[in-house]
Structure 1
Amino acid sequence: MKENGKVVIVIGAVIVPAFVFIVTSNRADLEKLDPYLESGKVKPVIDPKGVYPFSKTLEGLA
């Protein structure tokens, strides 16, 4: 991520049991997460059903 870059998180209603954790972070915080992401210990889930283009955001949250 570029310095002063932006991360956008959009979440809809969660139907199945889930853990949602949202933080404000900086580059140093994200670099600390990198080894966990690279090793697979932490896996980001964008959408288990697939990717929606930004133009279909409302449809993706339906």
Structure 2
Amino acid sequence: MSDEAKRRIFTMLDSDGDGVITHDEYLARVDRAASACGRDPQDPLVAAARAAHEPGRPRSGRTARPRR
């Protein structure tokens, strides 16, 4: 994946533009993708995607902007 593609993806995930992808911003991608595919928020697949990132899973909760 090119650096430009990585920057574009980061920009899409960093919805408030503060240079950090928070856990909430990261989870919001599940809801956006589900909506774009016409899936109900209560769909078992959507619920499973959200559950994969719930508390108890190892993560830092923050992802910094890729280096240029």
TM-score, with length taken from structure 1: 0.26
Compare the two structures and name the one with the higher helix fraction.
2
Compare the two structures and name the one with the higher strand fraction.
2
